[in-house]
């Protein structure tokens, strides 16, 4: 099994490398110390298994995953237990809390190979029970464009439009196409700032200039840049509660 290690700490990578040396069925094909380099390396090397830190410079572990076309199996390796639920929401195989023992490391590998799928069950249940807090809204949106990655601060987004399985993000006079459903993006953004005014439109209410009625029960919002967007009945009810 081809393995890649992504962690900004040299010691952490050393430990994974040392522990993994005891398992002949695994081959380390690459390492990265930051998220940007990791995205490119994973795409080129196509590992079967990824040991992935959460908190790293430039991009965090979850942002790295969001930019991958094909995801390998994931074992998160982190000093923070607060990301456990999110880790299993993205189908991580296991979640190793630093510092971890050789035995715990071995359990994670057994889960990867399927030889003992329940080996880390108690650890995972404990993490999930102790971290049932809502995830913090994302502060930036990442869009991959070939070999480039656009990092868009959430506060700079004007509005977002659904286009089947894609969304078009309008921000600071530019637009970006991202493979993600509007409903998924909506749940990750701050609901005090972003409002779903229509099944196809999510709006930053700080960009809203006025709400107009142009026919019976038909309304539009006008944004600071002059953009006009339709407002559904449910969207209108949401706006009334915020404006």
Per residue in 61-98, pLDDT (tens digit) is 999 998 988 889 999 998 887 777 777 777 888 999 99
How far is 219 from 42, CA to CA, in rounded Å? Answer: 47
Mean of the pLDDT values across residues 183-189? 89
pLDDT for res 33: 93
pLDDT for res 132: 46
- Given a cut of 50, is residue 170 above it in pLDDT? yes
Q: Confidence class of residue 145 from pLDDT cuts 50, 70 and 90?
A: confident
Cα separation values, 61 from 26, 36, 200, 219, Å: 22, 10, 29, 41
Mean per-residue pLDDT of the chain = 87
Rg over CA atoms, the chain: 21
Residue range 140-242 forms a domain whose CATH class is: mainly beta
Q: Could you tell me the sign of the dihedral formed by the alpha carbons of 184, 62, 152, 189, in that order?
A: positive
Cα-based angle 232, 237, 238 (whole degrees, multiple of 5): 95
The secondary structure of residue 74, as a DSSP letter, is: E
Fold match, 2-129 / 140-242: no
3-class DSSP assignment, residue 198: strand
Report whether 67 contacts 142 (CB < 8 A).
yes
Question: In this structure, how many other beta carbons lie within 10 angstroms of the beta carbon of residue 203?
Answer: 26
How far is 52 from 64, CA to CA, in rounded Å? Answer: 9
The secondary structure of residue 223, as a DSSP letter, is: E
The token duo for 147 is 């070999």
Per residue in 108-132, pLDDT (tens digit) is 999 898 765 454 445 555 544 544 4
pLDDT for res 11: 94
Domain positions in the chain are 2-129, 140-242
Q: How much is the pTM?
A: 0.69
pLDDT for res 115: 61
- Given a cut of 70, is residue 39 above it in pLDDT? yes
Cα-based angle 239, 141, 189 (whole degrees, multiple of 5): 30
pLDDT for res 75: 94
Of the two residues 146 and 201, the one the predictor is more confident about is 201
Report whether 60 contacts 34 (CB < 8 A).
no
| Contacts (Cβ under 8 Å, ≥6 apart) of 178 | 141, 143, 166, 167, 168, 169, 185
Q: Confidence class of residue 133 from pLDDT cuts 50, 70 and 90?
A: very low
CATH superfamily name and code, 2-129: Response regulator (3.40.50.2300)
How far is 130 from 82, CA to CA, in rounded Å? Answer: 8
């Amino acid at each position: 099994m081809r393995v890649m290690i992504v962690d900004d700490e040299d010691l952490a990578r050393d430990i994974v490398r040392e522990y993994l040396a005891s398992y002949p069925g695994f081959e380390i094909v690459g390492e990265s110390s930051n998220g940007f380099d990791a995205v490119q390396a994973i795409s080129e090397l196509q590992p079967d298994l990824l040991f992935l830190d959460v908190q790293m410079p430039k991009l965090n572990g979850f942002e790295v995953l969001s930019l991958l076309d094909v995801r390998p199996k994931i074992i998160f390796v982190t000093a923070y237990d607060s990301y456990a639920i999110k880790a299993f929401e993205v189908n991580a195989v296991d979640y190793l809390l630093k510092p971890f023992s050789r035995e715990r490391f071995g359990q994670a590998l057994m889960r990867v190979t399927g030889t003992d799928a329940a080996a880390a069950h108690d650890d995972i249940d404990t993490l999930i029970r102790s971290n049932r807090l809502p995830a913090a809204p994302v502060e930036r949106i990442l869009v991959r464009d070939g070999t480039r990655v656009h990092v868009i601060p959430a506060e700079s987004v004007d509005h977002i439009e659904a286009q089947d399985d894609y969304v078009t993000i309008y921000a600071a006079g530019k637009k970006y196409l991202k493979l993600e459903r509007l409903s998924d993006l909506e749940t990750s953004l701050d609901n005090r700032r972003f409002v779903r005014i229509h099944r196809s439109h999510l709006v930053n209410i700080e960009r809203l200039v006025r709400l107009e009625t142009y026919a019976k029960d038909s309304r539009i919002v006008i944004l600071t840049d002059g953009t006009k967007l339709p407002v559904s009945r449910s969207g209108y009810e949401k706006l009334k509660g915020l404006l």
